[in-house]
Amino acid sequence: MTSTDDKTWGFLHPDCHGPNALLFFSWDLARTIEEQFKQHYSAPVAEQLEHAQKAVDRLLKQYVQIQANPDAFEGQSITLRLEPDESNDKGVPVLALETTPHLESLLLQMQSQMQQSSNSIN
pLDDT digit string (tens) for 7-54? 789 999 999 999 999 999 999 999 999 999 999 999 999 999 999 999
- State the angle between helix axes of 19-39 and 45-65 in degrees (0 to 180), rounded to the nearest 10: 150
Q: What average pLDDT does the chain have? A: 90
| Cα-trace Rg, the chain | 16
pLDDT exceeds 70 at position 121: no
pLDDT at 2: 47
CA angle 114, 71, 19 (to 5 degrees): 25
